[in-house]
Structure 1
């Protein structure tokens, strides 16, 4: 939301209600809705695929035009949100088990994005995984990679607080992002670079590091990217000779959200301890300030008054 907020300010827009990754109670329902009821505790995905287009049929649900054009009204930074018919019909509303709190439920979408990326990259036992950036997404990637059997997880960040969190959540080795990263990785990894590099920050320097830290036969997956207009020079001949793959992963399809929900339901991925700050909706400005300062914060959430 911070990046959307910054974009709005650049465009001079100041009246749009943002917010996604939401959970709450159904308080009113349309006459034609049969599988949901008032009082249901739900997580709501802000966009949904059509399941019928060429992209969906090829498994690229997050490239679907419908997914890129659906949302709810207003955004999640509100006490009441109207969920469009299409979001309900296309698996955008998930009824929560009583054991899943609303605070846990807001992680279904970000964890779903992580599940999708690791599925596409085929993260598995026996590989060295490098994660660049230890915010919410990076720490979720660390936990999921651990559950997938990865024994050598390396994480980087420029923030010492986040590096400490990376250790707590399962990273085997952490480095400050300013080190000679490819050299450091070789020294601890039998002179090999990383088999999978996951970029979880939009910093251009991290994107460049990713290109430098990929082993032969490896995959680089851009989970986060620099802002539009930023380009990278790729040593294409080197990548061709060494069969290095560059990939991207955007968003989460329903199957990814299902997987994420099951991880959270089983409590095998710890999402609650990723929350460092909780603010009432009336203090959204202060919440954004904490996010912008990016000091000792990971996940910052907003709650309606009285919750």
Structure 2
């Protein structure tokens, strides 16, 4: 009879049950991790509250995983029992054309984390493919595993500001004051941005954002954000505008906030099937560069991990709530209302 573990299992939209499930068996050539901490991501919330698997339930989500190697298959030499690691959720093949050109985030032979049971559980199994490809990082002794969960959201935000070269003197507008927007704000400042403008419709999120070094906070439910950005930039517009939210309206507004020859980034994915109407004359005549951002290449993943666990990044200011896994539904609600900036769940603690 299989050993049991606790997990937060999704049975459908907004139907997440904390219950006993079978512990994973150690795959041939793979290993098992005892999860110490797992972040609750915006994409997790979207997946858990919609019919993300088109009826293919039950399923366990969770991909911002930090834990201790619990069991290792015979012959596996790169991992040892007791080793504390962060596991990047997607294992790039490093061999396809996209990987070889440096675009690992577009890997055509990736092992998607949503294809296997995830980290909202006490234990998670990783296959031989993961062992062969790596994308795991050892956490130094004494380092906070809770803070290390931020390495995953850090990777994509770090890649974004690097790819568009946020640099000394830039004015940067970020639409969306969730964890991603905060990450983008902090990283933009670290790269030398002169003026950072953060926009959201949720005043609670903006209030939390005030704890960080952000120049202007705009509540777009109370004022016209385009007019306000233009006012704050002397009608020039911003060097870079990043739409970091699931709104088509925000994408429309973003191109109106950018200066001539500026850069607009569509960072946040919108609901599938929804289309954004864009005034392409503005894009054309203003010479805008429109950049779709997703993921990070392997070197950006590594750099982001190192930054996330460093003293230079305010991890514990971003993580506002730490809850046992059994309170995942509370974590979802706290995040959706804006009361929580970032929630981290502890599967092996009560």
Q: TM-score when scaled to structure 1?
A: 0.93
Report the 3-state secondary structure (helix = DSSP H, G, I; strand = E; otherwise coil) of the residue aligned with 1:100.
Answer: coil
Aligned 8 A contact 1:70 1:87 in 2:
no
Summarize the alignment of residues 122-133 of structure 1 with structure 2, pairs less than 5 Å apart.
122-133=165-176
In 2, distance between residues paired with 1:140 and 1:42?
A: 22
Deviations 1:237-286 (A, max 9, x none): 33222220111111223212211122123221112111222221222232
Where is the helix percentage greater, Structure 1 or Structure 2? 1
Aligned 8 A contact 2:249 2:276 in 1:
no
Name the counterpart of 2:330: 286
In 1, distance between residues paired with 2:190 and 2:210?
A: 15
Structure 2: gaps of 5 or more residues? 1-43
- Residue 223 to residue 172, structure 1, CA distance change in 2 (3 Å): same
Q: TM-score when scaled to structure 2?
A: 0.82
In the TM superposition, residue 229 of structure 1 has moved relative to its aligned partner by 1.4
- Residue 264 to residue 10, structure 1, CA distance change in 2 (3 Å): closer
Name the counterpart of 1:66: 109
In the TM superposition, residue 31 of structure 1 has moved relative to its aligned partner by 2.0
Name the counterpart of 1:97: 140
Aligned 8 A contact 1:185 1:192 in 2:
no
Q: Which residue, out of 225, 228, 232, partners 1:181?
A: 225
Aligned 8 A contact 1:112 1:252 in 2:
yes
The answer as to 2:92 corresponding to 1:49 is yes
Aligned 8 A contact 1:72 1:84 in 2:
no
The answer as to 2:273 corresponding to 1:229 is yes
Name the counterpart of 1:4: 47
Cα RMSD, aligned residues only: 1.8
- More relative contact order in 1 or in 2 (CA 8 Å, sep 6+)? 2
Structure 1: gaps of 5 or more residues? none
Name the counterpart of 2:251: 207
The answer as to 2:44 corresponding to 1:22 is no
In the TM superposition, residue 17 of structure 1 has moved relative to its aligned partner by 0.8
77-86 vs 185-194, greater mean Cα deviation? 185-194
19-28 vs 174-183, greater mean Cα deviation? 174-183
- Residue 113 to residue 99, structure 1, CA distance change in 2 (3 Å): farther
Aligned 8 A contact 2:245 2:269 in 1:
yes
Aligned 8 A contact 2:64 2:89 in 1:
yes
The answer as to 2:284 corresponding to 1:243 is no
In the TM superposition, residue 72 of structure 1 has moved relative to its aligned partner by 7.4
In 2, distance between residues paired with 1:70 and 1:185?
A: 38
| Displaced runs of 4 or more, over 3 A | 7-10, 68-73
- Residue 168 to residue 286, structure 1, CA distance change in 2 (3 Å): closer
The answer as to 2:186 corresponding to 1:143 is yes
In 1, distance between residues paired with 2:115 and 2:144?
A: 22
In 2, distance between residues paired with 1:159 and 1:4?
A: 21
In 2, distance between residues paired with 1:81 and 1:201?
A: 29
In 2, distance between residues paired with 1:113 and 1:291?
A: 20
Aligned 8 A contact 2:78 2:131 in 1:
no
The answer as to 2:155 corresponding to 1:112 is yes
Q: How many residues align?
A: 306
The answer as to 2:134 corresponding to 1:134 is no
- Residue 35 to residue 12, structure 1, CA distance change in 2 (3 Å): closer
In the TM superposition, residue 223 of structure 1 has moved relative to its aligned partner by 1.1
